[in-house]
Structures are given as C-alpha cells and as structure tokens.
Amino acid sequence: MVSYLINRLLHIVAVLFGVVSGTFVLLHLAGDPLAGLIPPGAGPEVENQIRIAYGLDRPLPMQYLDFVGRAMRGDFGDSWRQGRPALDAVLERLPATLMLTAVATALAVGVGSCLGVLAASRPGSLLDIGARLTALLGQAVPAFWLGTMLILLFAVELRWLPASGLQGPGGVILPALSLAAYPAATLTRLLRASMIEALGADYIRTARAKGLSRSRILIGHALRNAALPALAFTGVQVGFLLGGAVIVEGVFAYPGIGGLALEAVAARDIPLVEAFVWVVAAMILVVNALSGLVAALLDPRLREDGLALRSASS
Amino acid sequence: MAPLHSSRISRRGALGAAGLVAGSALLVPGMRRAGGSAWAHQIYDQDLVIDLAVEPPTLDPALVYESDGWSVIHSIYDALVQFGPDGSLEMVLAESMAQVDPRTWEITLRPDITFHNGEPLDAAAIAFSISHLLDPETASQVAGNFQVIEEVEEVNSLTARLHLSAPAPWLPSVMAPWLALLPPVYAGDPANEFAKNPVGTGPYRFVRWDRGSRIALERNDDYFGNSAKGEPASESVAFRFVPDATTRVTDLVSDTSQLVRAVPFDELETVEATAEVVAQPIAGCSFVRIPTDVAPFDNGMVRQALNHAVDVEAIIATLLGGHGVRLPNVFVPGGLGYDEDLSPHTYDPELAKQLLADAGYPDGFNTRLAYTTGDRADLAAAIAGQLGAAGIDVELEPVETATFNATWQDPEAAPLRFLTWRPLYDPYTLLSLVISNTGFLSRYDNPEAQALIEAGAVEPDPEERDRIYRELGNVLHDSPAGIYLWSLTSFYGVDRDAPPWTPRPDDWILPLVAEGTL
C-alpha cells in the first residue's frame, strides 16, 4: 500500500510537471503574451516598461525555469488584470464550481442509475422504451439549448427559480439540470446494457436458485458487477465538470471557474490561465485516484495487486 | 411512466419551437401572469439590480478601460469633471478648472466634501491620484495620457495647479473617465487594498464584491448636493455581471434584474413586450479604417470609391433599427469638430465603379476586412456585401480582441478593419492614435491632415480648436481615412417598476437621476 501511494504521488507530480510545461509552451506559442496587456496606442517605452515589469524581457528558457519552479509550488504570481495572486482568483471561484459539479453529478448518477436499472429489469417493456427514449433525447440535446429552455420555463413562465446568477442555493439548480442531462442519459444507457449482460450471468441464476429477493439480486449482485463501466464514466465526467462548464456558466451567468478561464484567455492573462490549468489538473488527478479506489472497493479482482488500483478509465 | 415521458418530451419540443421561432410570443404571457417585480427582492436585498456584461478586473480607476467598469467606478468615485449630454464640460468635484496659461491649469475643488471613510477631499487627493496613475507600479495602460503633467502644485487646501510639459487642451477628456479621486491616506496604505475595498466620494458606498457574480453598493447619504452627475436613484444597488446578452434579457423579463445593458438588436421586440427599451445616443462612431500605406488604398480615389459603395443609410435602417446618424467623417454630434453642414458621401455604386476605373482598377480588387469577435458580424457582412456589388471582393476576418489590438500596424493583417470608438467629445485620442502619422494604431498619412491634427492637439482656445477640427473634418472627408459609418446608440432594457434613472451619452450606467431629466 505504501509503495502504491508513493507511486501514485510520483505519478501526480509528473503529470503536473507535464501540464505546467505544456501550458507554458502553448501560451507562448499563442503569440506575444503582451498582446492583451499593451494598451492600444502605448508607445515603445511603455511597452518596454511593461515587458520588464512582468519579467518578459528575459530569455525564454529563464522564464520557463523560473515559472516551473514557482508553479510546482503553487505560486503563479499576480494576475495581470486583477493585480492580485492568480491562485487566489481561481480558488475564490472554486466553491461555486464544486457545488455545481456535486449537484450535477448527484442528479446524473441518481437519475441515470434508477432509469438504467429499471430499464434493464424489464427489457422491452414500455418502461424500458421510455427510459431509452429519454436517454436518447438527453444525449442529443445540447446543454446551452436545454439551459435556455429551462430558464424560459422555470424562471420566466413559472418564476420558481432565478434566471441567472448564484444568490442562494436556488441558482445552482437550473445549471445543474442542464449539465446533468447528458451524463444521466449516458449512464442510463451504459447501466442498462451492462445490467442486462450481468442479469444473464450464471451467478444470477445461482442467486435466484438460493431464493434471494428480486431487489437483492438486482442491487446486490447485478448492479455491483455492472457498475464498473458506469463508475469509470462518472469519474471522467466529474473531471470534465470540474474544468468549468464554460458555455453553461455563460448562459446562467454562473460564477464558476469556467467563465474566469474564458476571460483570462481572452485577455491573455497568462498567470491566471496557468493557475487555472494547474488547479483543474490537480483536481482531475485526485478524482481519478478516488474513482480508482472506489472501483477497487467494488471489485475484489482490482485489489489483488496494489498497483492495479486504477480505474478502468485511466 | 411512458406517457409521462412523452408528455415531457412534447412540452420541451413545443417550448423549443416557440423559443426558436418567436421567443417574444412565449415571454409575454409569463410576464402578464406574474406581473410585478417582487421577484428581485426575493433574491436580492438591493432595491435596484443592474445587469452589466463585463466584470471590472479591479476597482482601481487607473486600471479600468471600458463602460461597464466605469459604471461601477463612477458610482463609487467621482472625477473632477464630466461631459454633459450636449458635449459640454461639466464640473463634478472641481468647482472650477481654468487654464491660467496654455501650460498651467488651475483646479479648485468644491469645499466640504469628504470621502466615505471621513477623509476630507483636498488638493492632496489630486496630487495623489495623478501620481498613482503615473506610477509604473500601477501599470495603468493610460498613464501615457497623463505624462504631459509634469508637476502638481498644491496652492492651498482646495486649489492645485497642474504644470504641463506641453499645452494639452484635451486633458479634461481623459480626466473624466480615469482621474477619479482617491483618498490619499486610505489608498496610500497598501494594507487597505483599496482596489478591492474602494473608498471614494461618490454617490454610493462599496458594500461587497462577490467575484464573478456581483458588486453591491449602498447609497451615500452624505453625497454632495447639485452634483452634475445627479442624485442617487436608489437606497442600494447591485451590479451583476452577465456576459450573455440573451441571459440579460431573460433576467429582465423574469424580474431578476431591473436594468440591463446592451439588449441585442433582434431581441428589442421581446423586451418591449414586457419592459421598456431606452435607445440612448452615445458620443462615439463606427467606421472602417482604410490604410494609406498600401496599394490600392494609397490612391485617394479608391478610398472615396469605398465610401460611395456602401449604403450606410440602408444599414442604419435595417440593421440598427433606424438609430444613429450617418457621418461624413469620424466626428460625432455633441463632440468637437462635428459639422452638420458637411454632407456624408452619397451612396452611388456607379460612381464608385467609375472612381475605381479612373484609379486603374476597372475590374475592382480583392481585399480583407477584420472585425473583433465582439462586434456584430452582420454589420461587417453587410458592408462587405455592398463593397462586393461595386466590384471589391472582401474576405471577412473575425479576430479575437487581443489579436486585433496587437495587429493595428501589422502589414500582414487585413488592411480594412471595422472600428468602434468612444467617447468622442474630444477627438484628440482617436486622432493622435489612429489617424496621425505618428499614432501607434495608425496606417494613415496625409500632410494636410497631419498639420491640423498637430495644431488641434495644442490649441488652448476651444472655439479655435473646434474650427481646426472642422477643417480637418473636411480634409478627412475628401481624403478618407475610413469608410465613415454611423454614430453609436446603446439599447438598455428597463423594468417598468425600476426607479427613475438618467441614461448618459458616455454609456456608463450610473444609478443616478440627473437634475432636469425627469
């Protein structure tokens, strides 16, 4: 177990190093970092002043070494636009994103697993057809369109929820619904397929023969075996949501990190972009490690060798 | 279970169809059913909720460069001066501002004004605020505009003299947005982080800032009377930051907000069904910059042909809802240099073709037109289409703003670029940057225009300056620096129950009621 943890930690450090280096290279490939910083109309002397103030007058390898050294410790310097530590600006917006991710994931997992299990329990029934149709629709509808329709229905027509923003917990519901539609639909289809497969297996027949109740068989035996691919998908999806749902945040004026990242990229606020990428990468690594652990808890086969504790997704 | 699903599907489908085909038809009944604006008070404890598009990155006035940021800044702070609806200079914190000689300005402050923290407003605040703007540590993008100020001399507690290195009759036009006065003691202590916790003399006090979301303010009960800016319109205000225009409209019709910025043109009807649309003329203009440093645009006849080829009136009527004045050059109504008697170029595609033939381009030519991704693509497309009809084949290039701003003088970039410039009470910055041959954004060079630009930049007498700019306007009309288009209009959406509020020609949304506007 200790060697597993050490291995995992080295893995995380290596990936973060790669992410930090990759961001640096990409941002400097994207053109003069000063493009968004030099005022239209600033003279060459102002430009030089700004270049020196931000350390952009040094040779690129120097900038890289200095940057990587600080970035690996979580120090990205001050945001160029906000004039305060870039990491603070990102962390400040993180709670809203975490809340949105948590609610959307809970909704997706709740609805997806109920529909998937119910559909699989009676394949070919009206219930099954209904669940599959809903899933198809959930996968096909784009989140921004669904978001707009939810606003029209719940904010404009019914006035149950605010149209945008996050003042009080009500503000998280509509964006979470918009974001949950796709993963809920995918989970429904994944679970339905793997449940149907599991329900045809020998051990289910054995369980029936033992006289176990229908729900025991469905949940305790079939679902536990069928859940692995769904779990892997959920892990990936959580990582995706943590990266900031840029479009849905835009539709709902939701104060998560996606909108911040978009502004930072548009303004070429390099420290802020770097801090954002670093935070998201770190969170995704943590989520991957966690989903690996949960997979191992569910499936004893994955526990035999410590190093095999990896989710099916990675 | 199955019927439930199908009914939900059809409901969604119906909403979708209605939303796509006629959004307004769907919005109207909802509004009528619910009515009132109690909603805003359920979510906000503020009396007035305003949706802006862009969140200011900081509340340091030296680091804010656009109208949404200024809306917040000038609610909390005051500048010395502002420009009124007719373009005239109005005193705010200054009681008087006079040129003692072309290189010396004397500013006298209104007496008995205090900052929100109790600090008195005195001449030290002027000196401090200017040195803060000029400080390289501040890294203000507009420091260059204030570098002409060599020394601030505190004559007495309420009077300061600015000693300039050169005459700068345009100084008030850069003071109005950027020289908001800071409290020297409070702002001078870095521990206070005034850019996060601003203290000004303005009509509202800062309460809190939820980043990414909103800034809350409360009325400053001690705000001085007879401010040219007006009186606070509300006990408390929340500025929200909503980048998506459609979301701002739904905020308004669902009573989440009472006043929203920049209603998109195609949603004016939706808004008008339930709320009011205020169309406010803005002191600014749009034009397509034409360079003179590259063929075929070095030929004046080609530049004139471009102006005759675009039916600006038709674009105003169809794509701008009839709002805006067609312009003969870059000067705008209410600003210096505007000449009502100077006619814009006629729309005459045949003349345009003739001019192109005379210039040696009987078959027209190919070129490129850049615009930023924040601009309306349909306007650029309309201009390109009309140029195409005259034989000029235009390739459109939408460009991200940062790239656009980095390529003003790039010979590889599209020669034509769609610009919007404001405010233009004083055309000094536009002329010195975009049209002067020394401007860092300029690819225009015309000796006759250059002499007038340089004369206008230092002429102390306002009437003489206006005359110089009118003359320059004639030169720019005959030897175009652009395809001249229209004066700007802003569309605000306002809830019918919103407190009274005065729209401004500088496009700042200040929750204030100005005297004589009700």
> What is the mean pLDDT, run by run of 10 residues, along chain B of 518 residues?
33 34 33 37 72 94 93 97 89 94 96 96 97 89 90 96 95 95 96 95 96 94 91 95 92 92 89 92 95 94 97 95 94 92 95 96 95 91 96 94 85 94 91 91 94 94 94 97 96 93 94 77
Which tens digit of pLDDT belongs to each residue from A175-218?
A: 999 999 999 999 999 999 999 888 888 888 888 888 888 888 88
CA dist B122 and B91 (Å) reads 16
CA dist B495 and B259 (Å) reads 6
Alpha helices in B390-485, H assignment, sequence order? 401-406, 428-430, 447-458, 462-478
Q: Cβ B195–A137 below 8 Å, yes or no?
A: no
Interface probe for A, chosen from B1, B32, B60 (most Cβ of A below 10 Å), is B1
CA dist B348 and A285 (Å) reads 64
Question: B355 to each of B301, B313, B343, B394, how far by Cα in Å?
Answer: 6, 21, 19, 18
Asked whether this complex has an ipTM greater than 0.85, the answer is no
pLDDT score, position B32 = 32
pLDDT score, position A246 = 84
Q: Cβ neighbours of residue B86 under 8 Å, at least 6 residues apart?
A: B334
Closest-CA distance of chain A to residue B309, Å: 30
A287 dihedral zone (left: phi>0; alpha: psi -120 to 50; beta): alpha
Tell me which chain B residues have a C-beta less than 8 angstroms from the C-beta of A132.
Answer: none
Q: Cβ A151–B1 below 8 Å, yes or no?
A: no
Q: Cβ A253–B243 below 8 Å, yes or no?
A: yes
CB–CB of B502/B512 below 8 Å?
A: yes
Which residue, B268, B205, B177, is CA-closest to B490? B268
Interface probe for B, chosen from A82, A94, A156 (most Cβ of B below 10 Å), is A156
What is the separation of C-alpha B224 from the centre of its chain, rounded to a whole number of angstroms? 27
pLDDT score, position B209 = 95
Question: Amino acid identity, residue B58?
Answer: T
The pLDDT profile of chain A, 314 residues, written as one tens digit per residue, is 677 778 878 888 888 888 888 888 888 777 677 766 666 556 677 777 777 777 778 888 888 888 888 887 888 888 888 888 999 999 999 999 999 999 999 999 999 999 999 898 888 889 899 999 999 999 999 988 999 999 999 988 888 888 888 877 888 999 999 999 999 999 999 999 999 888 888 888 888 888 888 888 888 888 888 888 888 899 888 988 888 788 899 889 999 999 899 888 888 888 899 899 989 998 988 888 888 888 888 877 776 554 444 444 43
Alpha helices in A243-269, H assignment, sequence order? 246-252, 257-266
Question: B221 to each of B205, B227, B235, how far by Cα in Å?
Answer: 9, 13, 9
CB–CB of B355/B398 below 8 Å?
A: no
Interface of B with A in 385-404 (CB under 8 A): 400-403
Q: Which residue of A has its CA nearest to B45?
A: A167
Interface probe for A, chosen from B254, B257, B399 (most Cβ of A below 10 Å), is B254
pLDDT score, position B44 = 61
CA dist A242 and A109 (Å) reads 16
Q: Cβ A46–B58 below 8 Å, yes or no?
A: no
Q: Cβ B195–A83 below 8 Å, yes or no?
A: yes
Q: Cβ neighbours of residue B290 under 8 Å, at least 6 residues apart?
A: B297, B303, B306, B415, B416, B444, B480, B481, B482, B483
Alpha helices in B263-311, H assignment, sequence order? 268-274, 300-309
Closest-CA distance of chain B to residue A76, Å: 17
Name the CA radius of gyration of chain B, rounded. 25
Q: Cβ neighbours of residue B84 under 8 Å, at least 6 residues apart?
A: B90, B228, B505
CA dist B64 and B73 (Å) reads 8
Out of A32, A82, A127, the one facing B406 most closely (by C-beta) is A32
Phi, psi values for residue B70, rounded to 5° = -65, -30
Q: Cβ A152–B44 below 8 Å, yes or no?
A: no
**Count of Cβ atoms closer than 10 Å to residue A17 Cβ:** 13
For chain A, give every domain's residue range.
Answer: 2-71, 93-313
CA dist A171 and A177 (Å) reads 11
- Is the backbone peptide bond immediately before B296 cis, with ω within 30 degrees of 0? yes
Which tens digit of pLDDT belongs to each residue from A216-249?
A: 888 888 888 888 888 889 988 898 888 878 889 9
Maximum separation of any 2 CA atoms in chain B, in Å:
85
Out of A134, A137, A163, the one facing B251 most closely (by C-beta) is A163
Q: To which CATH superfamily is domain A93-313 assigned?
A: MetI-like (1.10.3720.10)
